[in-house]
């Protein structure tokens, strides 16, 4: 079922921060607690921790919640078939301006090449999308090919919570915030527990640059050998159009 973009996706603080390439920007919980969003890092080039995670990618890659596109651009430069999706038009536009391929979509919307992606990325805390990690893991399994890979960045703390949050810029009281939306925060132990219950296999877990990552394998294990690198077949121009559902294929 197609979903509509959450209220925060059009919120002025998020779009303004992406245009400026900097924050401060926060997720604000209903009790007032603030989680800083690392806008400067998201708008920069992929860093060493990012590249270490991307080195593990297999086949065609779908970056879920791609933001301003640093990982899409890095993978494309490596010759990978890669597509970014994000519910924020500002994020999609930024990715396309950098030469990456991106669509304005929720992960729960119909997507190109469902069941054929080699790797899914849920970086920058995007395992929290939708506020229900079990549902996100089920959706991920349907998007991946058999024995596909999911690479997720987890919270540095040992946390497992479901919350309602808003995107806010606390330095500008005049700037309108987006509406509240569901989010989840998971540390590595919580994600591994949920993934195990859902039948995922753990490939690896590691720390890099003060961040934590997990690699999971979907059902139907196959050879661990990585397929050859592929040439991107989704053009940036076509990625501007949400109706452009040309399948991503490995040739």
CB proximity list for 209: less than 8 A, separation 6 or greater: 47, 48, 49
Please report where in the chains the tokens 């540095």 appear, as a residue: 156
- Terminal-to-terminal C-alpha distance of the chain: 30
Q: How many Å apart are CA 22 and CA 39, to the nearest integer?
A: 5
Beta bridge partner(s), residue 83 = 62
Tokens of 111: 């997507």
Contacts of 184 (CB under 8 A, 6+ apart): 127, 128, 129, 130, 131, 132, 133, 161, 162, 163
Count CB atoms within 10 A of the CB of residue 49. Answer: 19
Name the residue with higher pLDDT: 10 or 61: 61
pLDDT tens sequence across 148-203: 999 999 999 999 999 999 999 887 655 556 688 999 999 999 999 999 999 999 99
pLDDT band at 6 (very low <50, low <70, confident <90, very high): low
User: Which three-class secondary structure string do you get for 206-235?
Assistant: EEECCEEEEEEECCCCCCCCCCCCCCCCCC
- Tokens standing for 70? 């640093």
Give the per-residue pLDDT at 231: 31
The pLDDT tens digits for 214-242 are: 999 998 744 333 333 333 333 333 333 33
The structural domains of the chain, ordered by start, are 7-11+48-163+176-239 (3.40.50.150)
DSSP annotation of 155 reads B
Q: Is the pLDDT of residue 243 over 70?
A: no
Pairing state between β 26-29 and 34-36: antiparallel
Q: How many Cβ atoms from other residues are within 10 Å of residue 225's Cβ? A: 7
Above 70 in pLDDT, residue 246? no
pLDDT at 12: 74
| Residue 52 phi, psi (nearest 5) | -65, -40
- Residue pLDDT, tens place only, 70-88: 999 999 999 999 999 999 9
């Amino acid at each position: 079922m197609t979903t509509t973009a959450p209220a925060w996706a059009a919120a002025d603080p998020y779009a303004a921060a992406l245009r400026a390439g900097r924050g401060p920007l926060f997720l604000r919980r209903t009790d007032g607690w603030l989680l800083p969003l690392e806008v400067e890092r998201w708008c920069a080039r992929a860093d060493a921790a990012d590249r270490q995670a991307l080195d593990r990618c297999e086949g065609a890659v779908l970056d879920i919640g791609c933001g301003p596109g640093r990982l899409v651009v890095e993978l494309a430069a490596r010759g990978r078939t890669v597509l970014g999706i994000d519910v924020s038009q500002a994020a999609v536009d930024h990715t396309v301006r950098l030469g990456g391929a991106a669509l304005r979509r929720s992960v729960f919307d119909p997507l190109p090449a469902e069941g054929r992606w080699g790797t899914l990325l849920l970086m920058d805390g995007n395992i929290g999308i939708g506020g229900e990690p079990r549902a996100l893991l089920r959706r991920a399994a349907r998007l991946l090919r058999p024995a596909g890979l999911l690479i997720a960045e987890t919270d540095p703390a040992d946390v497992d919570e479901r919350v309602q949050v808003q995107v806010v810029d606390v330095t500008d009281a005049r700037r309108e915030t987006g509406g509240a939306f569901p989010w989840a925060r998971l540390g590595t132990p919580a994600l591994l527990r949920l993934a195990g219950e859902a039948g995922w296999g753990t490939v690896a877990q590691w720390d890099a640059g003060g961040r934590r990552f997990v690699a999971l394998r979907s059902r139907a294990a196959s050879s661990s050998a990585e397929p050859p690198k592929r040439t991107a077949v989704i053009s940036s121009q076509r990625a501007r159009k949400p109706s452009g559902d040309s399948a991503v294929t490995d040739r």
